[in-house]
Amino acid sequence: MSLFQQTLGRHVDLSDAEKILLSRFEQCPQIAGKHQMLWRPRAKVGELFILQSGWACSIRCTADGEQQVIELLLPGDIIGLREFTFGRHVSEASMVTRGTIQPFHHENIVDVIAASTPLAIALFATISRQEALLTERMLITLHRSARSRLLHFMIETFFRLDKVRHVTLAAFDFPVSQRLLGSILGLSAVHINRILKTLEQDGILKKFRGHIEVYDAKQLFEEAQFDRDYLGDEMDGLKQRLAQLQLGAASANGP
Amino acid sequence: MSLFQQTLGRHVDLSDAEKILLSRFEQCPQIAGKHQMLWRPRAKVGELFILQSGWACSIRCTADGEQQVIELLLPGDIIGLREFTFGRHVSEASMVTRGTIQPFHHENIVDVIAASTPLAIALFATISRQEALLTERMLITLHRSARSRLLHFMIETFFRLDKVRHVTLAAFDFPVSQRLLGSILGLSAVHINRILKTLEQDGILKKFRGHIEVYDAKQLFEEAQFDRDYLGDEMDGLKQRLAQLQLGAASANGP
DNA sequence: CGTACCTTTGACGGCTGTCAAAGGAAGTGG
DNA sequence: CCACTTCCTTTGACAGCCGTCAAAGGTACG
């Protein structure tokens, strides 16, 4: 099963027909270089991308040339999902590392929604989870210290990675520069550096160029006050109704 | 045309059949009192609400009893849309003022999505706009001063109100206490008060209990660096594809 | 008429940004 | 393989925004 099917399949059970529908999106994979821009701000919304490998982010560029990172995108994520109903992009998107992307036209999402209610719901669940990530980040930004924010972001990213492909907390890849961390968390790169230094001194973790080593997971989670609830994939309340709908459709179309 | 139809109709053109489908949601309106809680945190997701009149908000309550406001909801908004695919609520919702709400079960959204692709897309557009609001608020929180944040929030709320029912910038209702403003913007009530005082001294605006009077709109917009892009309803790129789909469906079902 | 909440004001302190400068790492082209 | 450039990391000094605490007056609601 492909990464994309796996991602949407976290929310609903996919039939063979639906897998075929999705496989149409997974053609023409492309290599995207580090820092490659995927669309320009204010460009008409057209191509979206499934991120197969590598990390990406969406960015807002302010009038005074500052770069503000909106979200970090990991393998399995759809780049641009948040804006596919807009006429024009309000953000720009670019690769954080080199990676593989599969472009598709935003109109194709409409076709999928029209063709399969379960997939439509799965897409809703996907965008809702994305919004939940954003909500959590906003609340934490508003109410916690820089150190707690940084720790929380590292744990969140670890869990998101772990869902896609098993990684270990003790040591995992984390190709995000201190400057980029600052842009994501709304802190200066200087301050990020100071925090990282104290984290190392306190024996909690060490970020060493492209990866993180965690020395004291217990204290890490304690300080970050991490609550996994918002990362859940389950959709219990709706699966039942989807099953009813499919039964109804089957009997209507049946012999 | 009802408020709800008007809200979804901002994104797509509604057929008569779709209006009938939506009218099913708009039964049994209820009065909800000030501060009335609409669901408890961690409750199973069940009833959602169309807000017909009055203001509401969704809230996260932390372990230490602090209240963090996630979003402000205005007439025409769907309360709980962000969480309808989740098994359990991660937030709680409550009324800011007295108002009217129309409850419906979250499974009904699935039925609407199954019954009408244009309505499904309109719901996507709605949730995407909600996410855009959140994104904007997060970026502004991360990168702007408290004063700029407060001004920006006031303007945003004005435009959201103005979409639903024409209001004037010179004087409009704004039933949000200084404490609540603090919870929304992640500032202490004390600091909100200090900012409001300077805003009045600078001749920009005055918040007087339940409403705002704007004295100097030009300077207001200038300081807030307000950019309307993210509030747009248009969905140009997808309307065409929706029309194609409907034509296809019509010829398939036709005589 | 009393109680609870909201607003207002002052003093103080800490977290975090800005500026500046230097050393290190990595990618590029010859 | 080396020189060069660019970006990233590290460190120090200093300033300012905004939170916290405390207390008093005002307002709404029962």
- Rounded Cα gap, residues B76 and A1, in angstroms: 41
Q: What is the mean pLDDT of residues A224-230?
A: 92
pLDDT at B158: 97
Edge-first strand order for the sheet with A56-61 is: A37-39, A92-95, A56-61, A67-73
- Rounded Cα gap, residues B204 and B213, in angstroms: 9
Q: Is B233 in the A-facing interface, judged by CB distances under 8 Å?
A: no
| A26, pLDDT greater than 70 | yes
| pTM of the entire predicted model | 0.94
pLDDT at A113: 95
Q: Is B110 in the A-facing interface, judged by CB distances under 8 Å?
A: yes
Which is more confident, A255 or A149? A149
A178 touches strand D (CB under 7 A): yes
Q: Report chain B's terminal Cα–Cα distance, integer Å.
A: 31
| Side chain identity, residue B65 | G
Buried/exposed code over A152-182 (b: 16+ C-beta within 10 A; e: otherwise):
bbbbbbbebbebbeebebeebebebebebbb
> Mean pLDDT for chain B?
92
| A147, pLDDT greater than 60 | yes
Q: What is the mean pLDDT of residues A33-62?
A: 92
pLDDT at A64: 77
- Rounded Cα gap, residues B91 and B69, in angstroms: 9
Q: What is the mean pLDDT of residues B166-182?
A: 96
Name the least confident of A42-46, A123-127, A157-161, B80-84.
A42-46
- Rounded Cα gap, residues B147 and B140, in angstroms: 11
pLDDT at A177: 96
Residues 121-180/B with CB < 7 A to strand C: 177-180
| B254, pLDDT greater than 50 | no
Contact check, Cβ <8 Å, A113/B120 = yes
Q: Which nucleotides of strand C lie under 7 Å from a protein CB? A: 5-11, 15-20, 25-26
